[in-house]
Amino acid sequence: MGIIKPLPDLLISQIAAGEVVERPASVLKELLENSLDAGAAKIDVQLEEGGVRLIRVADDGAGIAPEDLPLALARHATSKIASLYDLERVDSYGFRGEALASIASVARVTMTSRHAAETHAFRLRSGTDAIEPAALAGGTVIEVADLYFNTPARRKFLKAEATEFAHCDEVLRRMALARPDVAFTLSHNGSAKRRLASADFPRRARDIIGEEFFPHARSLDATAGPLRLSGLAALPAYSRAARDEQYFFVNGRYVRDKLLTHAARQAWTDILHGARHPAYVLFLELDPAGVDVNVHPAKTEVRFRDARGIHQFVFHALQRALAAPLVAAASPPMTSPTNAPSPFFQARQSGLGVGEPAARPYLEFARAAFAASAALAPDDLPRGAVAPAPTPDERDQGAAPLLGYAIAQLHGVYILAQNAGGLVLVDMHAAHERILYEKLKTSLDGGPPATQSLLVPLLLSASEAEMATAGEHADALAQLGFAVAAAGPRELAVRRLPALLAGGNAVDLVRALLGELAEHPASRVVETQRNELLATMACHGAVRAHRLLSLPEMNALLRQMEETERADQCNHGRPTWVQLSMAELDRLFMRGR
Ligand SMILES: Nc1ncnc2c1ncn2[C@@H]1O[C@H](COP(=O)(O)OP(=O)(O)OP(=O)(O)O)[C@@H](O)[C@H]1O
Ligand SMILES: [Mg+2]
């Protein structure tokens, strides 16, 4: 007697629904994708009770012919692909021919559609065979009512109405970002929640992500062969406590992909504090044959044929966009955001090709600004104007350095300097920290760093845990330029330091390092955690606020800033300096010229 039996069709669909229909938002996602695949230009969404009671999606797409209505609800029936060849190159959202069947197995589905060739619409309810005539001007209306009415176990997992609605809204936001050309409306329990007119991408992104993101957003559009990465990425001055503003689309499909998230994260590592998350809306486009979307039934995961190449491309394109001069592309924090031109528009026009040589953005901007200010009266200088870089001759003649000369220190925190353009304000700790960090990186890149031995070892009392960490990570510490060893049961001796940090508070520095090392396994800690450790070192090595600096010391710092890559942002992503032009100062005093 055999015990293996084929499952009934309904049960098969219910099992499939377990993967695809996790909650109302997943139903909405499938319906929106179907509408977009049908070429809709306008999509209206109505939800009741977080979508559990009703999800209604009306589109003005191509419609479904009456004879196709039963097939649309049938399992493994699709109009989108017909062969493996098609599957490997799929450019529609759907291709499994399964979504509606799965949904219909756990909810009551009504489809009303009017195909262009018909004089009126037809309607089909799931669970029945009768196709009735109906009234509809065009397109398709799908109503999904009473989700999980027949699978109460599943229903129990649903969250509060507000939560389910929030998930639905998020699904709509993603679609709306991917397709700014399509108009969307969303209502919940009869009240309008979103009304999005067809727009260009910047306008749509502004509607979806909000105004705060924009003053800090960098636009990018990079291509390399068949790969293209475009969109908006926020400079570190705008970061998030959660990963809630990270939108990655692959060929128009929203995905949650480890490889892409990792590449993005890396592009921000040097400029964003580890506990903060970057914000971005990015579109990766590539030949559909180079990416497999048939990885998970919900299609939010993808697999790339050339994973390494994609990672590199995304990382470099982003890193370059983020490193471009702060002041040239976006308006600096000092100007009011209301009159600041959208950085997206500005940068979109110039475009950032991956093929461009690695720039030293800070320096280049400063040079350009300097050249411009030498050639024009300050008032004629449009904000963020970038003139051609001066020839070496011009630079030699113009004796004033780019960041000018220090004139004072303000409350032990800021350096005030005068340059050709006007007033420069520098956050001295942030700037010094950045310089040290870049120097530490460079010094480690060339092998073991230059160190300084201490004639009298520095002693610090240590906890048992710190003693253990120092022993366990002695190699890692040595690679970073430290010699730290036990000098007693509860005492550590520091005998050697990286030369770059010799001036700072070594006791605090070593403690902070031990704290960080303790969180990671001893093996290979330097390779994987190196930059984080260097950031800690730089932070502790940098001049503290409230230390009085002499003018020569301040000028030395300014000169170092001019020489340092990415000096315009500190390791935590805050700007390190701002320029107040003479024109801006004049405006403060309503002083016409
Ligand atoms: N809004 C719509 N407008 C026009 N045709 C639609 C619409 N919704 C569904 N269809 C038709 O119904 C078919 C089945 O839809 P369903 O979502 O179940 O599968 P699919 O989109 O082909 O694949 P997947 O399961 O990957 O979503 C589609 O192939 C399409 O032909
Ligand atoms: Mg579909």
CA 505 to chain CA centroid, Å, is 35
Do 167 and 240 fall within a single domain?
no
Question: What mean pLDDT comes out for the span 295-317?
Answer: 90
Do 511 and 567 fall within a single domain?
yes
Q: Which one of the ligands is nearest to 59 CA? A: 1
User: What would the pLDDT profile of 545-560 be if each residue is shown by its tens digit?
Assistant: 667 788 888 888 898 8
Residue ending a domain, among 199, 223, 251, is 199
Mutate to test the pocket of ligand 1, among 100, 105, 141 (most ligand atoms within 8 A of CB): 100
Q: pLDDT at position 337, please?
A: 28
Helices (H), 38-183: 69-73, 84-88, 99-104, 152-155, 161-178
Contacts of 74 (CB under 8 A, 6+ apart): 97, 101
Do 155 and 283 fall within a single domain?
no
Reported as a pLDDT band with limits 50, 70 and 90, residue 524 is low
Do 40 and 69 fall within a single domain?
yes
Compute the distance from residue 34 Cα to the ligand 2 centre, in Å. 5
Compute the distance from residue 349 Cα to the ligand 2 centre, in Å. 36
Q: pLDDT at position 546, please?
A: 66
435 lies in a domain?
yes
- Phi/psi of residue 7, each to 5°? -80, 150
Compute the distance from residue 299 Cα to the ligand 2 centre, in Å. 11
- Of residues 198 and 214, the one with the higher pLDDT is 198
Number of domains in the chain: 3
Domain holding 572, by residue range, is: 398-593
Ligand 1 is surrounded, with C-beta below 6 A, by 30, 34-35, 38, 59, 61-64, 72, 78-80, 94-101, 140
Q: pLDDT at position 333, please?
A: 31
Say what percent of the chain tops pLDDT 90. Answer: 39
Instruction: Report CA torsion sign: 98, 99, 100, 106.
Output: positive
Compute the distance from residue 32 Cα to the ligand 2 centre, in Å. 8
Mutate to test the pocket of ligand 1, among 78, 80, 86, 123 (most ligand atoms within 8 A of CB): 78
Compute the distance from residue 198 Cα to the ligand 2 centre, in Å. 23
User: What would the pLDDT profile of 155-174 be if each residue is shown by its tens digit?
Assistant: 888 888 999 999 999 999 99
For helices 525-541 and 428-445, what crossing angle results, to 10°?
A: 150
Q: Which one of the ligands is nearest to 298 CA? A: 1
Q: pLDDT at position 573, please?
A: 65
Residue ending a domain, among 181, 199, 217, is 199
369 lies in a domain?
no
User: What would the pLDDT profile of 212-255 be if each residue is shown by its tens digit?
Assistant: 888 888 889 999 989 999 999 998 888 888 888 999 999 999 99
Question: What mean pLDDT comes out for the span 123-127?
Answer: 95
Compute the distance from residue 24 Cα to the ligand 1 centre, in Å. 17
Confirm if 218 and 347 have CB atoms less than 8 A apart.
yes
Residue 573 belongs to domain with CATH number = 3.30.1370.100
Q: Which one of the ligands is nearest to 299 CA? A: 1
User: What would the pLDDT profile of 350-372 be if each residue is shown by its tens digit?
Assistant: 332 222 322 333 334 334 433 43
Q: pLDDT at position 521, please?
A: 65
Q: Which residue CA neighbors atom 21 of ligand 1 most closely?
A: 94
Do 185 and 232 fall within a single domain?
no
Report the range of poorest mean pLDDT among 52-66, 93-107, 364-378: 364-378
Do 510 and 554 fall within a single domain?
yes
Q: Which residue CA neighbors atom 7 of ligand 1 most closely?
A: 34
Compute the distance from residue 95 Cα to the ligand 2 centre, in Å. 7
Please check the confidence at residue 407 and state whether its pLDDT lies above 80.
yes
248 lies in a domain?
yes
Compute the distance from residue 74 Cα to the ligand 2 centre, in Å. 12
Mean pLDDT of all residues belonging to the chain:
81
Q: How many Å apart are CA 472 and CA 474, to the nearest integer?
A: 6
Do 183 and 269 fall within a single domain?
no
Q: Which residue CA neighbors atom 14 of ligand 1 most closely?
A: 72
For helices 201-209 and 161-178, what crossing angle results, to 10°?
A: 160
Q: Which residue CA neighbors atom 29 of ligand 1 most closely?
A: 78
Of all atoms in ligand 1, which is nearest to the CA of residue 92? 21
Q: Which one of the ligands is nearest to 297 CA? A: 1
Residue ending a domain, among 199, 232, 261, is 199
Residue 51 belongs to domain with CATH number = 3.30.565.10
Torsion (CA) 71, 74, 76, 82 in degrees, nearest 10: 0
- Of residues 188 and 324, the one with the higher pLDDT is 188
Q: Which residue CA neighbors atom 19 of ligand 1 most closely?
A: 97
Do 548 and 469 fall within a single domain?
yes
Q: Which one of the ligands is nearest to 95 CA? A: 1
360 lies in a domain?
no
Do 312 and 186 fall within a single domain?
no
Do 551 and 587 fall within a single domain?
yes
Compute the distance from residue 309 Cα to the ligand 1 centre, in Å. 33
Do 60 and 173 fall within a single domain?
yes
387 lies in a domain?
no
Q: How many Å apart are CA 91 and CA 81, to the nearest integer?
A: 10
Q: Which of 51, 16, 356, 322 is nearest to 188 (CA)?
A: 51
Do 130 and 231 fall within a single domain?
no
Q: pLDDT at position 531, please?
A: 77
Give the pair of three-digit tokens for residue 219: 């636009």
User: What would the pLDDT profile of 214-224 be if each residue is shown by its tens digit?
Assistant: 888 888 999 99
Tokens 């969109």 map to which residue?
231
Q: Which residue CA neighbors atom 13 of ligand 1 most closely?
A: 72
Please check the confidence at residue 109 and state whether its pLDDT lies above 80.
yes
